[in-house]
Amino acid sequence: MSSFQLVGHRGARKEAPENTIAGFRYAHDLGLGAVETDVRLSRDGQLVMIHDATVDRTTNASGPVSDFTAAELAAMDARAEVPDWPEAVGIPTLEQALETLTLFPLIQIEIKRDTNDRMEAIAKILLETIKARDIGDRVILSSFEAPAIEAIARLAPEQRRAFIGAYDTPEFLETALRLGCSQADISLEKGSAEVVAQAHEQGLRVVGFQCNTPEALDRCLAWKMDAATCDVPSSILPLLAEN
C-alpha cells in the first residue's frame, strides 16, 4: 500500500484554521500531495472557502454565509476552531486560495448542500475557474448532493467527479456509477471492505473519511483504499511512513 495517499481535510482542520490560505500552506508544508476543501456562494456571487452554511463555528461572527459579501467574509477572523493560531486569517475566495491550492498535485473541491439552482451556479463558476487556470486534470469535484454532481456531468462531462456518502447501502455505489464518477468517497464508520472492493471492480478510486487515528489508518489499509482525508496529518503521516 505504498501508493496510499493522505489528503488534507479542509487543509488540516484540527491543526490549522480550516479552509484558509494559512491552513492550506500548513498542509503543503507538511508534505501532503493532496488537499480537500469546500465552496459556497457569498452574497455577491463569489465562491468562498467554507464548510458550514453559517460562519458561527469557525469565525468571530454569526449568520448565514449567503448573507455576507466576499469582502465581509475575508474580514472575519476564522481561527475559532484553532484559537492558538498566531495570526488572524479570513475566509478566502476560491480565486484568492488558488495560488496556494495549486501547489498541490491533487485538489478536491466539495460543493456543499444548497438549493439546486445555487449548486448549479457554483458548478458553473467552478468549471469556468478551473478552465481559466488550466488545472482540470488536477481537480476532483465532489459532493454529497447528487444534483451538484449531475450539474458538473452535464456542463463538463470530462471533469473528474466524486460522490461522497456512507456507502452502507447499494444505492450509493449505484448513484456514483450513474453520475459517471471516477471516485467514491466512503465513510470509514459506515462503509466496508466489500463495498471498497466493489467500487474498485467498477474502476473507481476510493477515498475514505476521516482517517484521524491509528485504528482508522489500519482500516484504510486493510480495506485497500487508495486515499483518505485527514484532520490531523502531522499525527498520521509518521504512522503511514511506518507502513
pTM above 0.85, yes or no: yes
State the architecture of 5-242 in CATH terms.
Alpha-Beta Barrel (3.20)
Phi, psi of 211 (to 5 degrees): -105, 90
Q: How far apart, in Å, do the first and last CA atoms of the chain sit?
A: 8
Domain boundaries, the chain: 5-242
Phi, psi of 155 (to 5 degrees): -80, -35
C-alpha cell at 217: 489508518
Name residue, grid cell 478552465. Answer: 131
For residue 118, the tally of other CB atoms under 10 A from its CB is 17
Rounded to whole angstroms, what are the CA distances from 133 to 33, 68, 105, 138, 212? Answer: 19, 26, 14, 11, 32
Instruction: Report pLDDT digits (tens) over 117-166.
Output: 999 999 999 999 999 999 999 999 999 999 999 999 999 999 999 999 99
SS (H, E, C) the chain: CCCCEEEEECCCCCCCCCCCHHHHHHHHHCCCCEEEEEEEECCCCCEECCCCCECCCCCCCCCEHHHCCHHHHHCCCCCCCCCCCCCCCCCCEHHHHHHHHCCCCEEEEEECCCCHHHHHHHHHHHHHHHHHHCCHHHEEEEECCHHHHHHHHHHCCCCCEEEEECCCCHHHHHHHHHCCCCEEEEECCCCCHHHHHHHHHCCCEEEEECCCCHHHHHHHHHCCCCEEEECCHHHHHHHHHHC
Cβ–Cβ under 8 Å, residues 147 and 135: no
CA-based nearest residue to 204, from 160, 146, 153: 160
pLDDT tens, residue order, the chain (243 aa): 358 999 999 999 999 999 999 999 999 999 999 999 999 999 999 999 999 999 999 999 999 999 999 999 999 999 999 999 999 999 999 999 999 999 999 999 999 999 999 999 999 999 999 999 999 999 999 999 999 999 999 999 999 999 999 999 999 999 999 999 999 999 999 999 999 999 999 999 999 999 999 999 999 999 999 999 999 999 999 999 998
Instruction: Report pLDDT digits (tens) over 152-175.
Output: 999 999 999 999 999 999 999 999
- In a 13 Å sphere around the CA of 202, the CA atoms on its Cβ side amount to 19
